[in-house]
Amino acid sequence: LIKSMKGEKNIRNNQDYQPTIVFWMKISAFIFGALVALLGVLVLVSWEYNIIELQTFVPGFVPMNPLAAIEFVLCGLAICASYFGYLAVFRKLSYLLASLVIILAVLKLLNILGINIPIDQLFFANKLGNFTPPSRMPPIASINFVVLGLAVILLDFKYRRQSFAEGLALISGSFALFMLLSYLFGSTFQSPHIFFSPLALHGSIAFVFLSIAILFLRPRAGLTAILISNTGGGLVARRLMMITLVLPIILAFLSNGLAYAGHIDFEMSFAIVSVLNIIIFEFLISHYSLTVDRMEKEQEKNQQVISKAKSLDDALLSSIGDGVVATDQKGIVILFNGEAERMFGIKAKEAIGKSVFSLWQIYNKDGNILSKKERPLQISLSKGKTITSSVVNPFYYSSGEKKIPVAITVTPVIYNNTISGTIDIFRDISKDVEIDQAKSEFISFASHQLRTPSTAISWLIEMFLEKYQDKLDPQQAADINTIYRENQQMSDLITDFLNISKIEYGISAVQSTPVSAISIIEGVLNEKFKTQMEEKKILSEKKLKSGVCAINADPNLFQMIVDNLISNAIKYTPENGKITVELDRFKAGTTVGNKKLSEDACIIMIADNGYGIPRDEQDKIFTRFYRAANAKDKKIPGTGLGLYMVKMFIEKMGGEIWFESEEGKGTKFFVKF
What are the residues binding ligand ADP (CB under 6 A)? 564, 568-569, 572, 608, 610-613, 621, 626-628, 631, 638-644, 667
Closer residue to ligand ADP in complex, CB, 269/639: 639
CA distance 443 to 556: 20
Closer residue to ligand ADP in complex, CB, 326/569: 569
Least gap, CB of 587 to ligand ADP (angstroms): 27
Closer residue to ligand ADP in complex, CB, 220/615: 615
**170 within 8 A of 151, measured Cβ to Cβ:** no
Least gap, CB of 459 to ligand ADP (angstroms): 24
Q: Which of 507, 325, 314, 313 is nearest to 406 (CA)?
A: 325
Closer residue to ligand ADP in complex, CB, 155/538: 538
φ and ψ of 322, to 5 deg:
-100, 155
Q: Which of 123, 167, 117, 159 is nearest to 142 (CA)?
A: 117
Least gap, CB of 618 to ligand ADP (angstroms): 9
Least gap, CB of 340 to ligand ADP (angstroms): 45
Closer residue to ligand ADP in complex, CB, 108/668: 668
Encoded amino acid at 539, one letter: L
Least gap, CB of 565 to ligand ADP (angstroms): 7
Least gap, CB of 649 to ligand ADP (angstroms): 12
The three-class DSSP label of residue 390 is coil
**353 within 8 A of 360, measured Cβ to Cβ:** no
Annotate 263-278 with b (16+ C-beta within 10 A) or e (fewer). Answer: eeeeeebeebbeebee
For 516, 583, 602, the CA distances from 547, given in Å and listed in that order, are: 10, 11, 11
Q: Helices (H), strands (E): how many in the chain?
A: 22, 17
Closer residue to ligand ADP in complex, CB, 219/642: 642
**356 within 8 A of 377, measured Cβ to Cβ:** yes
Closer residue to ligand ADP in complex, CB, 270/622: 622
Least gap, CB of 490 to ligand ADP (angstroms): 13
Residues 6+ positions from 654 with CB-CB distance below 8 Å: 673
CA distance 259 to 281: 24
Q: DSSP string of 313-371?
A: HHHHHHH-SSEEEEEETT-BEEEE-HHHHHHHT--HHHHTTSBHHHH---B-TTSPBPP
**643 within 8 A of 636, measured Cβ to Cβ:** no
Closer residue to ligand ADP in complex, CB, 220/537: 537
Least gap, CB of 519 to ligand ADP (angstroms): 23
For 57, 245, 272, the CA distances from 240, given in Å and listed in that order, are: 32, 8, 21
Least gap, CB of 626 to ligand ADP (angstroms): 6
Least gap, CB of 607 to ligand ADP (angstroms): 9
- Report the Cα 590 to chain-centroid distance in Å: 37
CA distance 533 to 381: 55
Closer residue to ligand ADP in complex, CB, 123/622: 622
Closer residue to ligand ADP in complex, CB, 396/611: 611
Encoded amino acid at 89, one letter: V
Least gap, CB of 454 to ligand ADP (angstroms): 17
CA distance 269 to 262: 11
Residue 413: count of CB within 10 angstroms of its CB: 15
Q: What is the CA radius of gyration of the chain?
A: 48
Closer residue to ligand ADP in complex, CB, 529/572: 572
Closer residue to ligand ADP in complex, CB, 150/621: 621
Q: At what angle do helices 66-83 and 139-153 cross, to 10 degrees?
A: 20
Examine residue 118 and say whether the peptide bond preceding it is cis (omega within 30 degrees of 0).
Answer: no
**176 within 8 A of 204, measured Cβ to Cβ:** yes
Least gap, CB of 627 to ligand ADP (angstroms): 3
**123 within 8 A of 70, measured Cβ to Cβ:** yes
- Long-range pairs of 49-57 with CB within 8 A, sequence gap ≥ 24: 50/127, 50/130, 56/200, 56/201, 57/200, 57/201, 57/202
Closer residue to ligand ADP in complex, CB, 421/640: 640
Least gap, CB of 578 to ligand ADP (angstroms): 12
Closer residue to ligand ADP in complex, CB, 333/503: 503
Residue 312: count of CB within 10 angstroms of its CB: 10
Closer residue to ligand ADP in complex, CB, 183/611: 611
Closer residue to ligand ADP in complex, CB, 93/521: 521
For 34, 64, 150, 549, the CA distances from 77, given in Å and listed in that order, are: 7, 18, 14, 80
Least gap, CB of 411 to ligand ADP (angstroms): 36
Encoded amino acid at 425, one letter: I
* Bridge partners, residue 669, by sequence: 606, 659
Least gap, CB of 392 to ligand ADP (angstroms): 23
Least gap, CB of 537 to ligand ADP (angstroms): 17
